[in-house]
A = this chain, B = another copy of it.
Amino acid sequence: MRDAYLIGAGQSAYGSFPGESYRSLFETAFERAVDSVPEGVEPGDVDEAVVGTLGVGGRQLGLSGPAVTEHVGLGGVPTTRVENACAASGYAVRQAIQAVKSGMADVVLAGGFEIMTDTSSDATKYWLGVSGETEWERLSGTTFSGVYAQMASAHMDAHGTTREQLSRVAVKNHANGAKNPHAQLAFECSLEDAQSAPVVADPLNLYHCCPTSDGAACALIASEDVVGKYTDDPIRVAGVGAGSDSVGLFQRDTYTGIPASRRAAETAYEMAGVGPEDLDFAEVHDCFAIAELLAYEDLGFCDPGEAGDLIESGRTEIDGDLPVNTSGGLKSKGHPIGATGAGQVVEAFKQLSGKAGDRQLDDPVRGLTHNVGGSGGAAVVHVFEREERSSSERSSGRSPRESESGVAR
Contacts and interface: CB of A to CB of B under 8 A. Distances in A.
A140 to B, nearest CB: 14
Given A69-B244, A130-B62, A82 B85 contact: no
A59 interface: yes
A76 B251 CA distance: 13
A145 to B, nearest CB: 15
B103 A246 contact: no
Contact of A84 (B81, B84, B103, B264): B81
B247 A70 contact: yes
Contacts of A240: 104
A300 to B, nearest CB: 18
Contacts of A293: none
Contacts of A77: 243-244
A62 B103 CA distance: 30
A67 B135 CA distance: 12
Interface in A114-142: 130-134
A65 B100 CA distance: 23
A134 B66 CA distance: 13
A197 interface: no
A263 interface: yes
B98 A373 contact: no
B70 A62 contact: no
Interface in A31-72: 48-49, 54-55, 58-63, 65-67, 69-70
Contacts of A69: 244
Contacts of A251: 70
Nearest to A380: B78
Contacts of A66: 84, 244-247, 373, 377-378
Contacts of A100: 102
A58 B195 CA distance: 37
A63 B104 contact: no
A101 interface: yes
A374 interface: yes
Interface string A373-384: 110011010000
A260 interface: yes
Nearest to A242: B78
A353 B1 CA distance: 30
B62 A246 contact: no
B378 A67 contact: no
Interface in A263-285: 263-264
A54 B63 CA distance: 9
A1 B98 CA distance: 12
B378 A63 contact: yes
Nearest to A77: B244
Given A77-B244, A243-B76, A244-B78, A62 B131 contact: yes
B134 A60 contact: yes
25 contacts: A1-B104, A59-B134, A62-B83, A62-B130, A62-B374, A65-B244, A65-B378, A66-B84, A66-B378, A67-B247, A76-B259, A77-B243, A78-B243, A79-B84, A80-B82, A80-B84, A80-B95, A81-B82, A81-B83, A81-B84, A82-B83, A95-B95, A97-B102, A98-B98, A101-B104
Given A62-B85, A66-B244, A97-B102, 18 more contacts: A60-B134, A62-B373, A63-B84, A63-B373, A66-B378, A70-B247, A70-B251, A74-B244, A76-B243, A78-B243, A78-B380, A79-B244, A80-B91, A80-B95, A80-B242, A98-B98, A98-B99, A101-B102
